[in-house]
């Protein structure tokens, strides 16, 4: 059974897609947080349930390993949009059947429940849409209710979208969400994946980091070295290179006045960060190249995305203030 894999390179073949899919791949990988109890239901005795799920839908599905003391695990489903949506609908049905005490609607034949999807912060705009129009349309067409969290999860650049409703309505909503993710798959590159327990392990062991991937590049910590305070010249042997694209109009907020912000990000993360002087394609985005250990790069990405989020919120607030002043 595969462990959780990243939401990366979601590729689409829609003619309205902003760019062609990489290597013609047409696969969606969608992750969700589930309780340890629910993970057991999904897997089934001797793995029977998850095996049946794969046979019925053609998807690849698996649940992350148990982290001692952590009561949540990550469910990962990969396949066609239709297959992933059908798989999640079947999973929700299983969970409702296994937990009769879950909240139900007025119609006893249509029990309601919820699934917590993990969505890249950079892709949330594709799901929510301008002014929330997209998420409203998905809710109207599917019959499900969707609640998007505002904050990124600890040590990651993922957020939760909770989809609430019947198994069928959740499946319909997930199909629509999947199509949104496929159309803008490039925005999901560079996502720092959430792993349950990492928030509590910042100062201790980070066993759940092993095998984490960034844009498909394995960053397992084999051969990791930890320089002691007395030997600053010792170089780690597991350096990785990570490239992410940043809109040109946001580069200034990351660099800061006289380079103060990017200098601080470099200092806090321990990664080397270089910035292309010119946009790399017609999108007008500029390439940031991050070089460091997997942990340092993860920290750098988190800080970069946090800075972007802060700037976006500042600009939204400024625009709202200007509109209010204009109305006065």
Report the CATH number at residue 181: 3.30.310.210
Residue 218 lies in a domain: no
H-run or E-run covering 150: none
Averages of pLDDT over each 10 residues, the chain, 328 residues: 37 33 66 94 93 95 90 94 96 86 46 89 89 94 93 83 95 96 82 72 33 33 36 62 83 89 91 87 80 87 84 83 81
- Enter the tokens of residue 13: 């073949």
Task: Find the CATH number of the domain harbouring 276.
Answer: 3.30.1370.10
| Residues 289 and 156 reside in one and the same domain | no
| Residues 33 and 126 reside in one and the same domain | yes
Domain count, the chain: 2
Running DSSP on this structure, what letter comes out for residue 18? S
| Residues 39 and 143 reside in one and the same domain | yes
Nearest Cα to 311, choosing from 269, 249, 264, 235? 249
**Helix axes 167-183 and 133-142, enclosed angle (nearest 10):** 140
For residue 13, the model assigns a pLDDT of 32
Residue 6 lies in a domain: no
| Residues 182 and 301 reside in one and the same domain | no
For residue 59, the model assigns a pLDDT of 95
Backbone angles phi, psi at 200, to 5 degrees: -90, -5
Residue 16 lies in a domain: no
Which one of 188, 205, 220 terminates a domain? 188
* C-beta of residue 300 within 8 angstroms of C-beta of residue 269: yes
| Residues 65 and 128 reside in one and the same domain | yes
| Residues 181 and 258 reside in one and the same domain | no
**10 Å Cβ neighbour count for 304?**
25
| Residues 39 and 182 reside in one and the same domain | yes
For residue 121, the model assigns a pLDDT of 86
For residue 312, the model assigns a pLDDT of 82
Residue 11 lies in a domain: no
| Residues 304 and 155 reside in one and the same domain | no
**Helix axes 48-57 and 36-43, enclosed angle (nearest 10):** 60
pTM of the model: 0.60
Which one of 188, 206, 225 terminates a domain? 188
| Residues 281 and 146 reside in one and the same domain | no
| Residues 41 and 176 reside in one and the same domain | yes
| Residues 171 and 261 reside in one and the same domain | no
Residue 34 lies in a domain: yes
For residue 101, the model assigns a pLDDT of 55
| Residues 81 and 163 reside in one and the same domain | yes
Residue 197 lies in a domain: no
Which one of 188, 207, 228 terminates a domain? 188
For residue 24, the model assigns a pLDDT of 38
For residue 235, the model assigns a pLDDT of 57
Could you tell me the residue range of the domain that residue 152 belongs to?
Answer: 28-99+110-188
């Amino acid at each position: 059974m595969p462990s959780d894999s990243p939401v990366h390179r979601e590729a689409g073949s829609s003619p309205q897609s902003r760019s062609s899919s990489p290597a013609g791949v047409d696969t969606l990988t969608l992750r969700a947080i589930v309780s340890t109890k629910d993970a057991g239901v999904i897997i089934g005795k001797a793995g029977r349930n998850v095996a049946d799920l794969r046979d019925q839908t053609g998807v690849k599905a698996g649940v992350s390993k148990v982290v001692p003391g952590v009561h949540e695990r990550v469910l990962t489903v990969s396949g066609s949009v239709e297959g992933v949506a059908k798989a999640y609908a079947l999973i929700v049905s299983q969970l409702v059947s296994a937990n009769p005490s879950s909240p139900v609607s007025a119609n006893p034949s249509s029990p309601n429940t919820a699934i917590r999807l993990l969505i890249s912060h950079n892709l949330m705009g594709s799901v929510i849409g301008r002014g929330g129009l997209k998420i409203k349309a998905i809710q109207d067409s599917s019959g499900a209710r969707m609640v998007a969290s505002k904050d990124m999860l600890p040590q990651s650049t993922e957020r939760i979208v909770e989809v609430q409703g019947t198994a069928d309505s959740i499946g319909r909503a997930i199909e629509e969400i999947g199509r949104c993710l496929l159309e803008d798959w490039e925005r999901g590159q560079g996502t720092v994946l959430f792993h349950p327990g990492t928030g509590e392990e910042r100062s201790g062991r980070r066993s759940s980091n092993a095998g984490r991937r960034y844009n498909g590049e394995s960053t397992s910590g084999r051969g990791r070295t930890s320089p002691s305070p007395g030997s600053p010249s010792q170089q780690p042997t597991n350096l990785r290179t990570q490239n992410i694209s940043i809109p040109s109009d946001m580069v200034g907020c990351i660099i800061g006045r006289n380079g103060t912000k990017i200098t601080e990000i470099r200092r806090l993360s321990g990664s080397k960060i270089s910035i292309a002087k010119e946009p790399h394609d017609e999108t007008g985005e500029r390439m940031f190249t991050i070089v460091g250990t997997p942990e340092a790069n993860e920290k750098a990405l988190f800080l970069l995305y946090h800075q972007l989020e802060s700037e976006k919120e500042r600009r939204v607030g400024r625009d709202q203030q200007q509109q209010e002043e204009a109305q006065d």
